[in-house]
Amino acid sequence: MTAIHLENLVKRFGAFTALKTMDLEIRDGEFMALLGPSGCGKSTTMNMIAGMEQPSEGRITFDGRDMNGVAMGRRGVGFVFQNYAIFTHMNVYDNLAYGLKVRGTPASEIDRRVKAMADFLQLTPMLDKPSAKLSVNILQRLAIGRSAIVEPAIFLLDEPLSNVDAAFRAVMRTELKHLQRQFRQTMVYVTHDQLEAMTMADRIAVMDHGVLQQVGTPLEVYNDPVNLFVADFIGSPGMNLLKGVLADSDRGLVADLGALGITAPIDPALSATARKHGIREVVYGFRPERVVLAGAGQGIAMPVTFIERIGARTVVHFGDGEQRVKAVFDNDVAVQTGETVHVAVEPGFARLFDAATGVAIR
Ligand code: ATP
């Protein structure tokens, strides 16, 4: 186990700055996901941790040791990339054994560890198979096993599941988490898939345009996004974000959500912050999962425009244009397209953002 510390890290490629600044502490034995849209700088960050790229500014330390100038092979990191690196002329057994062999591990120990890893990754039936004959799913599993078997203190994975099919991806999410728990490695996992990040990571570092936006547990980034980018990026379907203007009323501060024709009361603590900073234009956010059906005369009446079945849950779309609101209900929700129903937001689950800066008001 090794703690990784990224300090004021910047990476430029010519005139282009891929990573504007990055400060991140990855704890001993932690599973950290780097999550963000394509081009946000996730892989660039990962490649610097691995030692494939050198930082333009700042430094990376492993347990306090400066990694600047330390070659890739001497950093004690294992990695798996989107495109698995497998020796196709070797069978599964030899691929798994390779890393241990080059380290001079005794043959009996190699045999024991290869068999244990094959068992763990359910590769035992194919140990004798030439890897050239394996499916993409199995190859990626083998690539993970091949890197994991040498038990690197730091394990880096860059979109390892993006080429495998959906069913297998679900299986691997569980197995990777299990693998990390078993070996207690410090794991850094690059993905643009929030489901992967949410299900596996201890903490998620959300990135956009070369800037770290938020670091937190999956529930922290989900429940309390620090800005509109994180609010919109995390969650599927994403948070409802409605424009509003703060105004005083006999109920205290309220957000006038013009498009919906209602005013929403604002929590006293948030009101104090908004007042202190003189914020007027806001974005009022709430998760589709926090919309509830209200009794007649309560909440707000909205027409059901579209119903989407997404398996275990049902997404109901209300209104249109600027008035659009999404809600997620259990499958047995009794609403129909075309009817008007009353909906409300569960108390305590509305979030408020400064419209000018996108920053969450807390
Ligand atoms: P993706 O999932 O698409 O790989 P990412 O978040 O991992 O996205 P990076 O690969 O880190 O993004 O790239 C960040 C930005 O830096 C991109 O705009 C990319 O085009 C640019 N970039 C990356 N490597 C280089 C390079 N060697 N030379 C020039 N630009 C680069």
117: confidence class by pLDDT, cuts 50, 70, 90: very high
pLDDT above 80 (res 251): yes
Alpha-carbon distance 103 to 307, whole Å?
58
- Ligand 1, atom 3, lies closest to the CA of 38
Which atom of ligand 1 is least distant from the CA of 14? 29
252 lines ligand 1 (CB under 6 A): no
Cβ pair 255, 352 in contact under 8 A: yes
Residue-wise pLDDT tens digits, 254-266: 999 887 778 888 9
ipTM of the complex: 0.94
C-alpha dihedral over 330, 336, 339, 341, to 10 degrees?
A: -10
87 lines ligand 1 (CB under 6 A): no
16 lines ligand 1 (CB under 6 A): yes
- Ligand 1, atom 28, lies closest to the CA of 13
Mean pLDDT, rounded, for 42-54:
95
Which atom of ligand 1 is least distant from the CA of 53? 27
pLDDT, greater one: 139 or 33 = 33
pLDDT above 80 (res 149): yes
41 lines ligand 1 (CB under 6 A): yes
- Ligand 1, atom 29, lies closest to the CA of 13
pLDDT, greater one: 136 or 43 = 43
**Which residue in 180, 356, 351 sits closest to 267, CA to CA?**
351
Which atom of ligand 1 is least distant from the CA of 36? 6
What structural domains and CATH numbers belong to the chain? 4-233 (3.40.50.300), 240-354 (2.40.50.140)
Tell me what the pLDDT averaged over the chain comes to.
92
131 lines ligand 1 (CB under 6 A): no
Q: Which of 44, 159, 207 to mutate to test the pocket of ligand 1 (most atoms within 8 A of CB)?
A: 44
Percent of residues, the chain, with pLDDT higher than 70: 99
20 lines ligand 1 (CB under 6 A): no
Alpha-carbon distance 160 to 241, whole Å?
33
Alpha-carbon distance 23 to 186, whole Å?
17
Q: What pairing do the DSSP bridges indicate for beta strands 325-330 and 313-318? A: antiparallel
Mean pLDDT, rounded, for 89-111:
94
Alpha-carbon distance 91 to 142, whole Å?
10
Residue-wise pLDDT tens digits, 295-321: 877 888 899 999 999 888 999 999 988
- Ligand 1, atom 7, lies closest to the CA of 43
pLDDT above 80 (res 85): no
- Ligand 1, atom 27, lies closest to the CA of 13
